[in-house]
Amino acid sequence: MDLLLRDKVIIVTGGAKGIGLGIVEVLAKEKAIPVIIGRDEADNLAALNKIKQAGSEGFQVVAELSKPEECKQAVDVTLKQFGKIEGLVNNAGINDGVGLEHGNYQLFMESLHNNLVHYYLMAHFALASLKKTKGSIVNIGSKTAETGQGNTSAYAASNGGRNALTREWAVELLPYEIRVNSIIVAECYTPLYESWIKTFPKPEEKLKAITGKIPFEKRMTTAEEIANTAAFLLSEKSSHTTGQLIHVDGGYVHLDRAIS
């Protein structure tokens, strides 16, 4: 299916690795122009080179998104390069394990800045251009806001905020015909996820136990599956879809995981 994304400039935060890279690669295949925003220039360039070697166009901006001024700079540099922004994917973040019992105020606030505040800032700074292009926003979220996980208060709170902002922005931006949706991720195998699995004494057994509870096909969601949905939500093919929290999770959140 041609999603009609050719030459559309779409910012992807955290676009150098994991789910973000998956989204960048799918957008590139659709002939869009993904703009990779990330803190590590080497990672950004590696991702950019990957899509360029496949014959696609892209761009990268180095930014530490926990700093408001760098969020603004990332948008300004993109506009200077292309003169427009037609889509924003808020994706960057990390499940940093800031819990209630063993966390503290400083760590909690730092986690909110790492996982939630830049979602607001990137949308805020990109909004003027998105209004002109009638662009779309896709927020990447996590099941933790709905299911809980334990020992991750800040990350769960951030994802609750992501869900709320998705609905709030969908309402606020109706007059500008800007659609806002969220993709909720449960278990997706990324480099960060792999690093987490390796912290257990028996990583392979832990991974098997987790995948065994995923209702559909007993397997992890792939970054490409999330990316395909993101590309659809950014495209005109989803022209009457807004304010939705779409779970791409093999039924993890809403189906009974006791199903054998």
Q: How far apart are CA 217 and CA 225, in angstroms?
A: 14
Identify whether 155 is a catalytic site residue: yes
Residue 44's nearest CA partner among 58, 62, 26, 56 is 62
> Is the dihedral angle over the CA atoms 72, 138, 15, 2 positive or is it negative?
negative
By C-alpha distance, which of 159, 153, 160, 226 is closest to 187? 226
Give 94's contacts (C-beta < 8 A, 6+ positions apart).
114, 115, 155, 192
Catalytic, out of 105, 119, 120, 155:
155
Closest Cα to residue 26, out of 91, 84, 80, 79?
91
What interhelical angle do 18-29 and 41-53 show, nearest 10? 30
Backbone Cα Rg of the chain: 18
Residue with tokens 């990583």, as numbered in its chain: 203
Give the residue numbers annotated as catalytic, written as ranges.
Answer: 155
